[in-house]
Amino acid sequence: MAATMQWNDGFLLGLPAMDDTHREFVQCVAGIQSASDAQLPDRLEDFARHAVAHFGQEQQWMEGSDFPATQCHADEHSAVLASVRDVQALLAQGVNPQVARDLAQALVDWFPGHADYMDASLSQWMSKRSHGGAPVVLRRNVVRNACDVSLELKETP
Ligand SMILES: [Fe+2]
Ligand SMILES: [Fe+2]
């Protein structure tokens, strides 16, 4: 069996509900990777269910906290979910199941950058807000493209 995605504590972002969801993400990807060909449709459906809940939860958090980079973050989620739906449709048509294994690898490659950038910003934003008080300065540096938003959280002295 090929290597499966493993959790590592470098993925921790400090918001326990988000970290739990991300552990589940890793498990669901590993579930696809360790599936037999016959199990792939079910494991993909498990992943899709996870992704809908995972991305929906982050969307709610963004909307509930007036997070400033909601659209960019939501666009990445939508792209992932669309790819999963495409692969589900392909499998249902009986294509080579390698397409699902390639998707799992793409998810492994995608997750660390997304978590470090989009999810970490959201986690910091929410924890600042929930701890009240400290004013937050948000800076946008649009460098490479419209979605390259870097959020810098600063406490005013
Ligand atoms: Fe996430
Ligand atoms: Fe996210």
In order of their start, the domains of the chain are: 9-155 (1.20.120.50)
Percent share of the chain, pLDDT over 70: 82
Q: Is the pLDDT of residue 152 over 70?
A: no
* Of 117 and 135, the one with more pLDDT: 117
CB 21 within 8 A of CB 77: no
Q: Render 15-71 in DSSP notation, one character per residue.
A: -HHHHHHHHHHHHHHHHHHT--GGGHHHHHHHHHHHHHHHHHHHHHHHHHTT-TTHH
pTM of the model: 0.84
Q: Ligand 1 center to residue 55 CA distance, Å? A: 7
Neighbours of ion ligand 1 (CB under 5 A): 119
Q: Ligand 1 center to residue 31 CA distance, Å? A: 18
